[in-house]
Amino acid sequence: MDDRMGVGSRWRAVLPLLVMAVLTVPILMGYVWIIISTFSQRTYGLVPVDSAGRVGGLTLENWAFLWEDPNIWKVTLNSFTLAVGLTIGVVLVSALAGYALSRISFPGRKAFLGTTLILHAFPSVTLLISIYFVLRWITRVPILGRGIPVIGGFGYDTVGGVILVMLALQLPLGVWLMKGFFDNISWDMERAALIDGCTRLRVWWQIIMPQIKPGIAALAIFSFISGWNEFLIPYTYITDQEKSTIAAYLRSLMSDTAPVNYSQIAAVGLFQLIPVMIFFIFTQEYLLSIFAGGSKGGT
């Protein structure tokens, strides 16, 4: 940077901000509209209006689902279960697989890495029907099918089944991400730990894992958010309203026959957004480390 704060350099600092501000305005407008409309009967642009078109008409009616529809809390809990289950699964498997792929040379390692990447590029919609048959088959397995508490099981029409499917779809990204983080850790540190008296597993757990905490955090947040927001897979494989997730619940408000109350949909959408926002505020630092490409600090 230029040390002299002349006219030119001040402009150089202000100009990018200005451009970014202008580009952000349309996005912000969307959010502002959502917030305003959830408290209005109708809106005219950003102005809340009542049914007769006069300015005003503020109401809490759109939020009534929170206390009138008991299902909302069930689906919220289901979404939470899905998001947490997915996060645990993705982090655990990715961390172990990523470590193995980064450190251990075994036959088929390159082929495995290539295939996972191709799988990741596969649109999940094309797999929906075949996965349906797989889930139906798992349903018939005793206990594992639909006899597990909290997640229901791993079969069709259970939260666990959805976790299983999403886990498979999320893993390629997770494994590659974790491998990248492990690749950045020097071999010397691992060798030092082996010589100091660690077993391989202990090196992974006590020496390497603490180094990639930012990576684990980032992956966990990513997985949590994608589990929380996922629509297609829970919508497809869960038919029971009570086992449904919040995204599917949102869809059910847009019925094909009755007129759609967009203000209510905005309210449910905002409700769904709140946990993610809170989560994001506390974890954005870690998320950035994905783009920064690894952990900082130490050597």
Partner 1 sequence: MKLKLENLTKRWGAVYGARDVNIEVKDGEFVALLGPSGCGKTTTLLMVAGIYKPTAGVIRFGERVMNRVPPKNRNVGMVFQSYALYPHMTVFENLVFPMKLKRVPAKERRERAQQVAEMMGIGHLMDRKPGQLSGGQQQRVALGRALTKQPELLLFDEPLSNLDARLRLSMRAEIKRLQVNLGITSIYVTHDQVEAMTMADRIAVMRDGLLEAYCPPDELYDRPATLFVAGFVGNPPMNFLDVEVTQANGELRARCLGLDVAVPAERGARAAGKPKVTLGIRPEDLSIVLGEPGGEADTVVAGEVYVVEPLGRDDLIDVQIGQSHVNVLVNPGLGLRLGDPVRLKFNMEKAQFFDPETEQSLLWR
Nearer to partner 1, 16 or 297 (CB): 297
Nearer to partner 1, 140 or 200 (CB): 200
How many C-beta neighbours within 10 Å does residue 123 have?
7
Residue choice 36, 88, 144, 189 for contact with partner 1 (CB under 8 A)? 189
Nearer to partner 1, 67 or 187 (CB): 187
Q: 95-134: which residues touch partner 1 (CB under 8 A)? A: none
- Shortest Cβ 221–partner 1 spacing (Å): 20
Tell me the CA distances in angstroms from 288 to 135, 178, 185, 215, 284, one per residue in order. 36, 15, 19, 10, 6
Of 16-24, 35-43, 154-162, 192-200, which segment contacts partner 1 by CB under 8 A?
Answer: 192-200
Residue choice 186, 239, 252, 284 for contact with partner 1 (CB under 8 A)? 186
- Residues in Cβ contact with 243 at an 8 Å cutoff, skipping those fewer than 6 apart: 78, 152, 157, 158, 159
What token pair was written down for 290?
């994905």
Tell me the CA distances in angstroms from 263 to 25, 37, 63, 255, 268, one per residue in order. 22, 5, 9, 15, 9
Residue 217 binds partner 1 (CB under 8 A):
no
What token pair was written down for 65?
């689902």
- Shortest Cβ 296–partner 1 spacing (Å): 9
Residue 149 binds partner 1 (CB under 8 A):
no
Nearer to partner 1, 62 or 211 (CB): 211
- Residues in Cβ contact with 85 at an 8 Å cutoff, skipping those fewer than 6 apart: 151, 159, 160, 163, 227
Residue 191 binds partner 1 (CB under 8 A):
yes
Burial class, 298, CB count within 10 angstroms (exposed 0-12 / middle 13-18 / buried 19+) = exposed
Residue 196 binds partner 1 (CB under 8 A):
yes
Contact positions vs partner 1 (CB under 8 A): 186, 188-189, 191-199, 207, 210-211, 297-299
